[in-house]
Structure 1
Amino acid sequence: MGDRPPARSRLLGTATRLFYAEGLHSVGIDRIVAEAQVTRATLYRHFPGKDQLVVAYLSEVDKAVRAQVAEAAARGESPAGVVRAVGESIAADIRGPGFRGCAFLNAAAEYPDPTHPVHRAVLGHREWFLRTITDLLTHAGATAPDPAARHFVMLRDGAMVAGCLADPEPICRTFLRGVEGLLTHLGMSEAASSDRRP
């Protein structure tokens, strides 16, 4: 019993698994409580309502994506290399078992009201991701980093949507070619990067 995770961790872990696999509206509080093996009172002690639990779930996904980008940054030899590594990590996710698309795009589809806390959490994550890619392209020397970063995000969004609807392998190849094409267009292809290295 001493090794059992705390109730909040069990609730969040259960909600994360069910929300991502089955959708936000289709998974009810009763099921989460039952599978997490807690009482309703315990759930409401940690999360005042389902909306707050959904936001906490998205916060956990956001932290995981940020960690993934940080790991890619640690592997990349240059800002362009980091962008390439981020693209490769996205492709790895799409190829992974149980992939059901982007958790944030899925949440936005279920919560379209831009004033809703869940929708705001989605927008906050997407603003951070766009800003991160823009900063990387700026440091890599892109003359127009804003539209280039938006292009990258659109490539990512398309790959995430298509990757859960069809065979992910050709989709990942197309996505990674698109990322490389964008970097080449910006003068940041692998060959160009090699020419600039001392």
Structure 2
Amino acid sequence: METSTPERVAGHGRQQVRERILGAGSALFYAEGVRAVSADKVIAAAGVSKVTFYRHFPTKDDLVVAYLEGLATSERARLEEIRSQHPGDAVGTLEALAGALGEVARGEAFRGCAFVNAGAEFADPAHPVRRAVAAHRAWYTDFLAAVARDGGADDPAAAAAELMMLRDGAMVCGDVDDASVVAPRLAAGFAAVLAAHQR
């Protein structure tokens, strides 16, 4: 049986500390907004020193980008899982996606799309946070274009842009209106867009 060397133990500990900082920052950024949360607040929530914080994240922006990239990784995996459960079936994929988004919107702590929220706080398109938002939204739109292509859309890119607008609106609705209507209305909207783009 392989034993852990001191270097491995230290490395594992460093990763745990990084994940603790990231977890604390992620929760605070989503609940309160990125700009409203200071590095000091994250440091206190994570229970680490300033030196430790800045060793793992040289700036608060680095932590925000890591937060968004972590969310992007999880969301992409979930979307790919949904699509894999409905191979070649755009209608089934979009219905399942609408259901999944509706379930998220009904969550007690839900306060909209983290990417839309973060993007609204950073106007400069060259800012690292805004670039992280743009990268994920580009991926999401490409994903929707692939689904639209599965459904025989005459212009998958245009269909994807419309599907993305509906998705964004649904996330706002889930935050400020009645979250219980998100899934059925989004499913109907998705179906209408797909039908409008049939070849």
* Shared fold (TM-score, shorter chain, > 0.5): yes
What secondary structure sits across from 1:115 in the alignment?
Answer: coil
Q: Which amino acid aligns with 1:47?
A: F
Greater alpha carbon shift after TM alignment, 15-24 vs 84-93: 84-93
Ranges in structure 1 where 5+ consecutive residues have no aligned partner: 189-198
**Which residue of structure 2 aligns with residue 27 of structure 1?**
37
Higher relative CO (Cα under 8 Å, sequence separation at least 6) belongs to 2
SS class of match (1:8) = helix
Q: Report the counterpart of residue 99 of structure 1 in structure 2.
A: 110
2:137 alignment partner in structure 1: 126
CA contact (8 A) 2:154 2:198 kept: no
**Unpaired segments of 5 or more residues in structure 2?**
1-11
| Alignment pair present for 1:117 and 2:143 | no
Correspondence 1:155 to 2:142: no
Deviation at 1:187, TM superposition (A): 4.7
Tell me, yes or no, if the aligned pair for 2:98 and 2:183 is still in contact at 8 Å: no
The offset of 1:23, in angstroms, is: 0.5
- Partner of 1:165 in structure 2? 176
Segment of structure 1 superposing worse, 81-90 or 19-28: 81-90
Structure 2 CA distance for aligned equivalents of residues 18 and 167 of structure 1: 24
Q: Deviations over 1:154-193 (max 9, x none)?
A: 00011111210012112332222111222333459xxxxx
Distance (whole Å) between structure 1 residues aligned to residue 96 and residue 82 of structure 2: 5
For residue 50 of structure 1, the aligned residue among 52, 56, 60 is: 60
Residue pair 1:51, 1:118 contacting (<8 A) in 2 also: yes
Residue aligned with 1:129, SS: helix
TM-score (norm 2): 0.87
The share of aligned pairs that are identical, in percent, is: 40
Query: Partners of 2:167 and 2:147 in 1: how far apart?
Result: 16
Aligned partners of 2:151, 2:181: CA distance in 1, in Å? 28
Query: What's 2:119 paired with?
Result: 108
In the other structure, the counterpart of 2:24 is 14
- Match of residue 73 from structure 2: 63
Note the aligned Cα RMSD (angstroms): 2.1
